Structure 1
């Protein structure tokens, strides 16, 4: 039971999300299909909260003594990056957000994509759909890489 809980919790951590949750879950002995389902749920669970509240928390904290500089940096970075993405994507913002979340690179993922969507005042339903499909894409990529990696490791040990 502990390995399922750890797999779930890891998938909720910003920056690593299911990109680390799936390989660790499979590495701990969780069946890959269960690890994928658990991680997708864990990865998506914080998304509505991030969409509606992260921006408010950052704006609230931007003028606070100890956290203000960091919160201001997050807001500026998110807004600047989002505007750049918006310029490049144009009317293809849905697809840009989907690919941003789905292609597992450092600094991308559901947390960052959702925060960007919130900072850009994108439509909630379209943003959630794009992020969800991005999480599915990331899960497919990470699962394939995990299974191929563990398969090669197992074959090398035989």
Structure 2
């Protein structure tokens, strides 16, 4: 099993996908991992983008309920309050231009931004799923493109030509 996971192109794509599912790491860690494992940059981009996008609808639908549940327990409650404060700080930027702001928040490939943060902000702002999802997905694609181009430089543009 381990040989398959690290020794085949499909296995490397699966690992890249799984790494991109993780909060904080997201595709900002998935793309570099995939490329470092010898995947074509655009294949690493695709696997990472799909992995990063997968949890977003579930986060949008359930994050408020999960935070409410977490508040019943002292340690988890502190974490929930911390996450809400963080999202509130980020939401001030998003409120001005709503969907464009949400897209930009997700698209900036820096720590503290990304699909997980964008979904948290959108959920706490009570944005509808059908409005928030396209903005977050567009931000993920932009962030993935920026990370891929930063890692591969102009050589990656030959694929687009």
The TM-score with structure 2 as length reference comes to 0.84
Corresponding position of 1:38 = 47
Query: Does structure 2 retain, via aligned residues, the 8 Å contact 1:59–1:75?
Result: no
Pair 1:59–1:27, CA change in 2 (3 A)? same
| C-alpha displacement of 1:53 | 0.8
Shift of 1:73: 2.1
Does the CA contact (< 8 Å) of 1:98 and 1:131 recur in 2? yes
* Unaligned 5+ runs, structure 2: 1-9, 157-161
For 1:124 and 1:31, the matched residues in 2 are separated by 33
- Equivalent residue of 1:66, what SS? helix
Partner of 2:159: none
Greater shift in the superposed pair: 47-56 or 63-72 = 63-72
Residue 112 of structure 1: which of 101, 114, 117 is its match? Answer: 117
- Cα distance in 2 for partners of 1:133, 1:81 equals 18
**Partner secondary structure for residue 74 of structure 2:** coil
Which residue among 79, 83, 98 is the counterpart of 2:88? 79
Deviations 1:92-149 (A, max 9, x none): 2110000110111110000000110000001211110000100110011001011129
Note if contact 2:100-2:135 (Cα within 8 Å) is conserved in structure 1: yes
Deviation at 1:61, TM superposition (A): 1.1
For 1:142, the equivalent position in structure 2 comes to: 147
What is the aligned partner in structure 2 of residue 94 from structure 1?
99
**CA positional deviation for 1:74:** 1.6
Return the match for 1:49 from 36, 58, 67: 58
- From 3, 11, 20, the counterpart of 1:11: 20
Tell me if 1:103 matches 2:112. Answer: no
Deviation per CA, 1:33-71, whole angstroms, max 9, x where unpaired?
Answer: 111111111000000110011121111111313312111
Shift of 1:5: 1.7
2:70 pairs with 1:61 = yes
